[in-house]
Amino acid sequence: MTTTNHRTMIGGQAVIEGVMMRGPQSTAMAVRRPGGEIHLETWENSSIRDRWPILGLPILRGVVSFVEMLVFGYKTLMTSAEISGMLEETDQEAVRADAASPSEQTDTAAAAKEDESDAPSSKGMTAVAGFSMVLGLLLAVGLFLVLPAVLVKYTSGVVHYGAFRSLAEGAVRLGLFVGYLALLSRMEDVKRLYGYHGAEHKTIYCYEHGDELTVENARRYTRLHPRCGTSFLLIVIIIGIVVSSFITWDNLAVRVLLKLLLLPLVVGVSYEIIKFAGRHDTGLMRAVLAPGLWLQKLTTREPDDSQLEVAIRSLQAVLTGNRADDAW
C-alpha cells in the first residue's frame, strides 16, 4: 500500500442504500436498486457563490456551504429512498419530479399529466417534504439550544456564575447530542445507513493514498475520517459553548434568540477550523480533530463489500483525471 497521501476536497454523505459524492466539478449519487444493480446519477456543481463571489470569503463560505449541503443532502436522501424502493410507489413520481433537472421535470410533468387525477400533487409532496425539513430543524433547535438553556437556568441554585452555567449548558447539549447519536445507531435502518457512511470514508482514504479504487483496497482503510460532517458538528457545539459564555443569562428568551442569531457565525468559524485542520497535519490539529474521530465510531459502521462497491462507483463518477483539481 502506497504511503503517498493526497488530501482531497471530495466529500459526500451516505444516503438510503447509497453514497453521494461531491467533486470539484460535479456531484454523483450511486444507489443500490432492489434488484441489486447500481443506479448512478450525476449533476454539475452550482452554488450561489458563483453569482455572488463575496459569499466565498472566509466565514461566509462556511455558512453558504452548510446551508447548500443541508438542502441538497435532504433532496438526495429523498431521491435515494425512491430509487432504493423505500418509498411507496404512489409517492415515487412526485419525489422524482421534485429532484429532477428542469428538462427532466418537463418530461415527467408531461407524462404525469395523463394520470393527474390518480397521482398525488408534486407541489403537495414538495410542501410536505419542506414542512418535514422545517419541523426537523425546529425540533433540533428545541432539543439542542432551548432545552439545555432551560435545564441550566432552573438549576441556578447549583450553578451560579455565568461562565460555569455556560459550561454546564454545553455539557448538557453535548450529552444530548451524543445520546441522540447513540440511540440512532441502534436502529437497524440507521445501521445500514452508517455502513454506507463508513464506505464513503474508506473509499476516500483509498483514493487519497493513491491506491486503485477496488473493494479489496478500500476495505483495508479505517472508516474514521478527520474531514467528516460528524467532526464538523462537534466543533460547532464546542465553538457554540465558547460563544455562549459571553451571552447574558438574565433573560432566557433573549439568550436563546442571541444564540440563534450568532449560529451562522459559529458555523462559519467551525468551517474555517476544520478546513485549516485538514490542511495542517500537526499534533495540535490532530488533537483538535480527535474527538470527532471518536464520535464517528457511533455514526459509521464497517461496510460490507456491496456498500464499498457503491461508494467506489460514486467517487469514480466525480473524478476529473487530474488529482490537482480536487486538492484540499
pLDDT in tens, 46-72: 999 989 999 999 999 999 999 998 889
Report pLDDT for 135.
Answer: 62
pLDDT at 162: 61
Q: Which residues contact 173 (CB under 8 A, 6 or more apart)?
A: 144, 145, 148, 237, 240, 241
pLDDT of amino acid 101: 44
Contact 87, 81 (CB under 8 A): yes
Distance in angstroms (rounded) separating the CA atoms of residues 207 and 321: 12
The kind and range of the H/E element at 19 are: strand 18-22
Q: CB neighbours of 151 closer than 8 A, spacing ≥ 6?
A: 169, 172
- Using an 8 Å Cβ cutoff, are 237 and 291 in contact? no
Yes or no: say if 19 and 30 are a contact pair by the CB < 8 Å rule: yes
How many other β-carbons are positioned within 10 Å of the β-carbon of residue 293? Answer: 17
Residue segments in the chain with a per-residue pLDDT below the cut of 70:
1-4, 87-138, 156-163
* pLDDT value, residue 36: 94
Q: What is the pLDDT of residue 40?
A: 97
Map grid coordinates 480527535 to a residue.
Answer: 290
- 3-state secondary structure at position 8: strand
**Which pLDDT score is estimated for 287?**
85
DSSP code per residue over 247-267: S-SS-HHHHHHHHHHHHHHHH
Task: Give the pTM.
Answer: 0.80
User: How many whole angstroms separate alpha carbon 76 and alpha carbon 82?
Assistant: 10
